[in-house]
Amino acid sequence: MTRSKAVIPKEWVTHKTKIPKGTIPSSFTMTAAELRAREINSWSEKLFQDNVISLATGFGYILIYHTHDSRRSQPGFPDLVLVNPRTKRVLFRELKSAKGVISKEQQQWADGLRKAGADHAFWYPKDWVSERIHNDLRGAANA
């Protein structure tokens, strides 16, 4: 669905005039899903990681490794190693903020782990919204 830009009457722009009730253009409104997606995309990497760990625990990942101080670890090593002994799954995940950029070292680790047959991926907050993270943790097909 494409939204057109709202035209705000000039008289509304001054600090003296309040916007009359019931006159906010429909293009300014957001659905609950859009509002939630916006909130999730503003998560810090720390909050994102905390939420992922909580979700992973709920899916039975009882062994979870994350580096507390990346300055003392191998550059580019993934943020999380998630192990679920019940489902016999091991996931290597690099978490990025909505604006996060993949470093050269992170890409090298990703390529090496994938070539060795490991399940590696980069996760962004948008992947929480799309439920990709949930599907990956569940082991759903096409996750």
For residue range 51-91, what is the model confidence (pLDDT) as tens digits?
Answer: 999 999 999 999 999 987 777 788 999 999 999 999 999 99
The model carries a pTM of: 0.75
Q: Is the pLDDT of residue 21 over 70?
A: no
The amino acid occupying position 55 is L
Tokens of 84: 């679920």
pLDDT at 142 (0 to 100): 42
Q: Is the pLDDT of residue 44 over 70?
A: yes
Confidence grade of residue 19 (pLDDT, cut at 50, 70, 90)? low
Find the range with the poorest average confidence among 17-21, 100-104, 105-109.
17-21
Q: How many CB atoms lie within 10 A of CB 96?
A: 19
Q: Identify the H or E element spanning 123.
A: strand 119-123
Tokens of 108: 């090298």
Of residues 6 and 58, more confidently modeled: 58
Range list of β-strands (E), 37-85: 63-66, 80-84
What are the CA-CA distances from residue 62 to residues 6, 56, 70 (Å)?
49, 8, 22
Mean pLDDT of the chain: 85
CATH number of 44-138: 3.40.1350.10
Q: Is the pLDDT of residue 41 over 50?
A: yes
- As a whole number of Å, the end-to-end CA separation of the chain is 26
pLDDT at 63 (0 to 100): 97
